Amino acid sequence: MSLFAEPATMPLPDRIEDLLIGGRPVAGDGPVMDVINPANGKRIGRIGTSTPAQVSNAIALAQEAGRSTAWGLQPPHMRARVLARAADEIERQADHLAELQMNENGKTRTESRAQAMAAAGIFRYYAAVCECIEDAMPPARGDYFTMTVHEPVGVVAALTPWNSPLTMGAQKLAPALAAGNSVVLKAAETTSFVTLALGQCVVAAGLPEGLLSVVAGGVETAVALVEDSRIGLISFTGGTSTGQSIARGAADRLVPMILELGGKSPHIVFADADLKAAAKSVAKGIFGGTGQSCVAGSRLFVEKSVADEFQGLLVAEAEGMRLGPPSDPESVLGPLASFAHRDRVEDFVRRGVEAGGEILLGGCRPEGEVFADGAYYQPTIIGGMDNSAEVAQEEIFGPVLCFMTFDGEDDLIADANNSVYGLAAGIWTNDYRKAWRAARALEAGTVWINTYKQLSIAAPFGGFKLSGLGREKGLQGLRAYQQAKSLYWAC
């Protein structure tokens, strides 16, 4: 059954939703999983999970569809038509997709709708890329000519996270399909409905049957997908430990991977910065989305001479970010995505305080009847620690900011780079030379200067160190789903 049958409604609590296997609705063969709204603890629906046998069948259908439809051999403009129609369908369903995401992971309705529209934009971008990306004719070194063509890898295993299933799903589906592949997409356990609805939008756009499946379940489902020998590439966004486990399992088969993993991004404020603008950006950079973002600026480094002033500005900004039900248009922050995740965040804060950290803001659940049944947690700032503290080194993935100070530029860069992660960083200064030096010295895949969390689908995105392998987005994001072949032709 379609999750957006007319008129669009939320899934019923007692109805068991179908999966999407080979582009068709199919009941899950595995145990039935409850889907819980983190804002109130109520069950919003149920879904049958995918057994390893069902995953295997989805891969077989994807492999056969890739051959029978010749999707990867179609002229690029033909694939572009489907992607453009998918963008139109996602836009048409934007309100309902936003409602599904809001109810599954607690993002506000405003943010969820913005992400639905962003997902449409991602498909529209890759439809355009299909029309303009070109193969090459390298110069010959003899009596022949040569050309390089790019061909699909085959069946892509795509695994998306629960924090932003619309944009993360689109960032995998659109380039993988544009590159001529078939895809088996595994939904995160807590956001199965919105991921299925996104897949249904793509199928409704006229994608040839069999090229896309959406499966659901836990570890067993994921293992069955990534360890299948017919998978040509694994694209995973999620925690670093899970990414490392996937990489170990794929090593013997030398399966190419795109891994977008964890982060503990430094956000740096120099004394010569526009402190009011920086405080607003730092607050949004860590507390936006309730801190559940891989690029959240969770380590704050402020030059000592302005630390007290900046702390006051920052606390005021954070206190002004209204925490409340995600359906309330006045809410800036919603609940954490699950009760188990809130417990994890709370435990990190408790250990940080026990290790000598000082709570500068928050540090507990909010009080009040409106929060009683939800997985809410206050925006939290912890000071009084250095960069070696556990809370400054481990990815908490919640609304928790570590407030630290620095004296000199050299020591700052050393501390900012003293992390196993290298996904993103932010710099605030009015000295362009200082900004350039710091941006080049920081070990991060994305560096923002006098802004934060500005993202473009046209710019490559990925991390250094344990923040991942490969790049998504941009032209590189499409080429990542292809393999190069050189052809030589004697004259």
- Report the C-alpha gap between 316 and 297 in whole angstroms: 18
- Go through 261-299 and write b for each residue having 16 or more CB atoms within 10 A of its CB, e for each that does not: bbbbbbbbbbbebebeebbbbbbbbbbbbbbbbbbbbbb
Of 89, 104, 111, 172, which residue is the catalytic one?
172
- Report the C-alpha gap between 462 and 471 in whole angstroms: 5
The SS3 assignment for 208 reads: coil
130 catalytic residue (yes or no): no
* φ, ψ dihedrals at 375, nearest 5°: -90, 55
- Report the C-alpha gap between 218 and 389 in whole angstroms: 32
| R_g over Cα of the chain | 23
The SS3 assignment for 301 reads: strand
Identity at 156, one-letter amino acid code: V
Nearest alpha-carbon partner for 38 in 303, 290, 382 = 290
Nearest alpha-carbon partner for 412 in 332, 329, 301, 320 = 301
Sorted by sequence, the CB contacts under 8 Å of residue 415 that are 6+ apart come out as: 266, 301, 386, 387, 404, 406
- Report the C-alpha gap between 160 and 188 in whole angstroms: 6
Identity at 399, one-letter amino acid code: P
* φ, ψ dihedrals at 184, nearest 5°: -110, 115
- Report the C-alpha gap between 263 and 462 in whole angstroms: 10
Identify the DSSP state of 360: E
260 catalytic residue (yes or no): yes
For the chain, give percent helix, strand, coil, nearest 5: 40, 20, 35
395 catalytic residue (yes or no): no
Of 99, 260, 317, 346, which residue is the catalytic one?
260
182-186 and 212-215 as β-strands: parallel, antiparallel, unpaired? parallel
472 catalytic residue (yes or no): yes
Identity at 203, one-letter amino acid code: V
Of 17, 227, 472, 473, which residue is the catalytic one?
472
- Report the C-alpha gap between 28 and 46 in whole angstroms: 11
Of 130, 201, 294, 402, which residue is the catalytic one?
294
Strand partners, 486: 148
The pair of structure tokens assigned to 188 is: 């995160």
The residues carrying an active-site annotation are: 172, 260, 294, 472
